[in-house]
């Protein structure tokens, strides 16, 4: 089983093994926030609730990671989904689209770049979304570096959802 580790201000930090999470509680480095209902860890004389969510006793200074707005990261943010036709493509068949075209002063930034299939890219050309009648599925924004690496690979337990907030990834 896995445990969601929060820092002292309840920000998600990491997903760890539940045994390690229990060890941290035992060593008084963390507190139990939620346990898995009906799941226990047994010692010779005792049983302990299996931690589902724990919080650290300290604040974790999360380093400011600058996420570069490049192909790989943009496709990751948009889950390889063309933001105009909503189809999923392999990375080779995708391109980055400037929502406001470069020719109209649109910058290459997280807020102006979306994942786009080649067909839609051609169709949109140098037009603004309203001119082309092509509106991105979601408003492009800078993804949070929080849990960028761990969360995408993990199965998210429903009990974690309230703590993950906008970092929830399906």
Interacting residues toward Zn ion by CB under 5 A: 82, 84-85, 117, 120
Give min distance, CB of 138 to Zn ion, in A: 14
**What does the block give as tokens for 31?**
């507190």
For Zn ion, the closer of residues 8 and 91 by Cβ is 91
Q: Could you write out the DSSP letters of every residue in 6-49?
A: E-TT--EEEEEEHHHHHHHHHTTSEEEEEEEEEEEEE-SS-EEE
Give min distance, CB of 168 to Zn ion, in A: 25
Give min distance, CB of 5 to Zn ion, in A: 38
Instruction: Give burial (CB, 10 Å; 0-12/13-18/19+) of 49.
Output: middle
For Zn ion, the closer of residues 108 and 118 by Cβ is 118
Give min distance, CB of 26 to Zn ion, in A: 52
d(CA 17, CA 139): 35
Contact (Cβ atoms closer than 8 angstroms) between residue 114 and residue 99: yes
For Zn ion, the closer of residues 18 and 95 by Cβ is 95
Residue 58 gets which letter from DSSP?
S
For Zn ion, the closer of residues 11 and 98 by Cβ is 98
């Amino acid at each position: 089983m896995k445990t969601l580790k929060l820092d002292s201000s309840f920000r998600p930090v990491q997903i760890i093994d539940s045994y390690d999470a229990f060890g941290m509680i035992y060593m008084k480095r963390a507190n139990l926030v939620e346990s898995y209902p009906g799941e226990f860890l047994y010692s010779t004389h005792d049983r302990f609730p299996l931690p589902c969510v724990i919080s650290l006793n300290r604040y974790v200074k999360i380093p400011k990671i600058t996420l570069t707005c490049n192909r790989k990261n943009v496709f990751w943010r948009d889950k390889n989904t063309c933001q105009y036709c909503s189809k999923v493509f392999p990375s080779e068949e995708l391109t980055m689209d400037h929502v406001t075209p470069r020719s109209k002063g649109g910058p290459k930034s997280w807020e102006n770049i979306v994942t786009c299939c080649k067909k839609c890219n051609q169709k949109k050309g140098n037009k603004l979304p309203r001119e082309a009648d092509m509106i991105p599925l979601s408003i492009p924004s800078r993804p949070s570096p929080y849990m960028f690496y761990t969360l995408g690979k993990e199965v998210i337990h429903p009990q974690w959802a309230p703590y993950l907030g906008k970092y929830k990834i399906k």
